[in-house]
Every structure is written in C-alpha cells, then in structure tokens.
Structure 1
C-alpha cells in the first residue's frame, strides 16, 4: 500500500517550520562563529603576554550575551591574575571549577592558579588601605574624608525653632475650672513663646549627618589596584 501524501495544509505547515529552522540556524551560526573567533583571539593575546587585550576581548564576549565556551572562565581567571585583579580572578576560577569539576580540560592548571591566589587574596583581606576587591581607597569627595556632612537642618527648615506641640504654637493652654469655665494659662513647655529650640540642630540652623556618598566611612574605592603599602609621609 502506498503511503499517503500529506494534505496541503499539513505540508504547508511542515515547509513553514523547515523555513523557520533554516532562518534560525542562519542567525545562530554567525554568533557561534563570533564566539569562537573571540576565544581564539583572546588566547592568542595571552600567549603573547598581552593580557590587557585579552581582558578586553573576554569582556566583549561577556557583554555580547552569547553562550560562553566551557573553558572561557579559566582563561579569563588566568588573565585577571596576570593583571593583578585577584578577587575577580578567584570568582571566575571558582565558576570554572564549579561548572567543569575535575573533568575540566584545565583542571590541573586551575588548581595551580588557586594556590597562587591564596597569598594575594590574604593580603587583600588583611589590608586596611583597600576594599575587599583589592582597589585602593581614596578620600570621599563629598565629605573630604570627614565622614559627616553639614547641611541646612531639614527638621526646622533652617529656622532654628519649631512650633510647640503642647500649645499648638499659641503659647497658651486652656483648662476648665470646677465651674466649667475655660481659663487660659501660659504654656509651661515653651514659656508662652509658642516655639521651642529645634531638637535636631539645637538652634544652629545646621544639622550634621553621616555622609551618604561614602556611607560615613570617609573613603571610596578608587580604580587603582592596591600594593598594600602605605604612602610615604611628606615632610616640609
């Protein structure tokens, strides 16, 4: 018995699906080729000890959103190590070991790099001159290292006084006597003035608060990698 030829509607659907598949392949193919090209260029740069170029290529690959090759985290970790970016290097190295495990092509190299990172990472963790990523601190530009900033008091709107809440700012309070007659008395809280010294700025019109830019630390991380050596004091 001859097999039946698909009806026209079904045949049309199959052709449409096949066309879509070809179109998708045409879109994906060049992207995968671009990934392979970037990887080869980055590895070639590493072999020339041109780690700055390799770093740029790897970052372009990450920013592209394309699927990353399995060995890419290892190569990037090695590049970052050579550039002194030890914290980032450790992050990518851990990701490589997490994804590839002991079956990874560069497992031995990864474990060796892990050992080499121990010293630099310990230096970062114990250094008082840099953040936990190894970037040297600089003085906060907002508070000039003072950790606090002075600004117009927001509570009293820089007036130095606030209305008395007991008398509503009138300076007088009312009470009914035993004959149910309203009597007026001077507010004891504000001494009849109707206002009080601002409890926040204490009448100075200014308030001091922790610097929001640096979180009250007086310093910010710079873009300079720390050498963990204090700067020499200049004598005049």
Structure 2
C-alpha cells in the first residue's frame, strides 16, 4: 500500500478517535448539566412545598384566631416563627393582633409596629393594625402599674423580618425624610439620618439590624 494511503488512513483514524472523544466529553458535560438542572428543580420544588405547608399552617392559625381560640392560634404562630428563616409580613399583623387578645400588650405593640413600618398605610391590614396597636398601647399603659405576671414574650427583634419583594423599607428612624428633628428649648435641630440612604430607605438587612440596635451609622450628622 502506498505511503500516502497509509498516512491518510492514520489521519482518518485519528480524526475518528478525536470525534469520539469529543462526543463522549460533550455527552458527559450535557449529562452533568442536566443533573444540575434536575437537582436545582428538585430544591426549588421542595422550597415551594415547604412554603406552601407554612402558609397552610399560618392559615389554620388565622382560622383559630378568628374563632376565638387565641391560645391555639398562638401555638401555631409561634411554631411558624420557629420554622421560617424570614418572617412573612402578614404574620407580623396576625401575631400582633392575636397577642392583644392574650393580653400580651407589649408583644402586640411590637409586632403591629413592624407591620406598619413595612406596609405603611397601603398594606392589606394597615388600618386594622393601627387600630389594634392603639388599643394595645392604651391597655399597656394601664398594665404598667399592675406588675402582672406574664408568659415569656416573643419580640420581633429575635427574628429576621421579610420586607417583601422589593427588599426595601422606609427608615423608621427618620420616617423616610432622611432628616431627624430634635426639638429643643432654642428651636429645632436638624440632623441627617445616619442609617438610611438619601431617599430615606433601608435595605431589608439594614432594617433587621436597626430593630436589633446593631446597625452602624454610615454617614455623619450634618
């Protein structure tokens, strides 16, 4: 067989081997990518199923609260708080309202405040939250002089609050004005809010640090 034909056969064989290796490597990468997609989809479905289960449990707590079984509702709400990583904003309202019926007025004020801070006047339960908070504040003032024994209160500073899809909330320190006003005997003193941005907004992470008293000032007062 002429040399050129033998060389051509060697080249063809090399090309064939290269193509086969390329095919196997490509197939391996494709299978790996598919496995990752399947794994990601499984995790996503599991998270959705967990969230759906939590929402069903929350709905059951609302059912018991609406039917006057406040202790049962309290147990369910506390279990949801212990389960979730980030507290749904609606739960801050439900837990605050139910706490009022259990005469846990400080706890009620705390959680209703969180709902009002997150939703302002446009939330689904904003008006009700303001009304229940007003009632709780009145009862709390009466109670301060009684020194009544209470069960351990669950305060919102122990949890990360979900600020909603925007991930932002109006700064409660300056009410979104980016300016804090100190009223003194010689007139008002105006200082730049040391926590929020120029629009008076906090990120959700900053908000949760602020309610714990752990948010560091990021600008100097002027």
Question: Which category of TM-score, normalised to the shorter sequence, fits these structures?
Answer: 0.5 to 0.7
Q: In the alignment, which residue of structure 1 is the partner of 2:109?
A: 90
Distance 1:66-1:37 versus aligned 2 partners, 3 A rule: farther
8 Å contact kept, 1:35–1:68: no
- Structure with the higher fraction of residues in strand conformation: 1
SS of 2:89 mapped into structure 1:
coil
Q: Which runs of 5+ in 1 are unaligned?
A: 137-236
Instruction: Give the one of 149, 169, 192 matched to 1:135.
Output: 149
Q: TM-score, normalised by structure 1?
A: 0.49
Whole-angstrom distance in 1 between the partners of 2:117 and 2:32: 43
**Pairing of 1:1-150 with structure 2 (within 5 A):** 7-125=26-144, 127=145, 129-130=146-147, 135=149
8 Å contact kept, 2:65–2:73: yes
Whole-angstrom distance in 1 between the partners of 2:90 and 2:42: 29
Q: CA deviation at 1:60?
A: 0.6
8 Å contact kept, 1:38–1:57: yes
Q: CA deviation at 1:38?
A: 0.9
Whole-angstrom distance in 2 between the partners of 1:13 and 1:70: 39
Greater relative contact order (Cα < 8 A, sep 6+): 1
Q: TM-score, normalised by structure 2?
A: 0.52
Deviation string, structure 1 residues 71-94 (Cα, Å, up to 9, x no partner): 111011110000100011111111
Runs of 4+ in 1 over 2 A off after TM superposition: 5-10, 65-70
Whole-angstrom distance in 2 between the partners of 1:37 and 1:66: 17
Q: CA RMSD of the aligned region, Å?
A: 2.1
- Structure with the higher fraction of residues in helix conformation: 2
Counting matched residue pairs gives: 127
Whole-angstrom distance in 1 between the partners of 2:76 and 2:84: 13
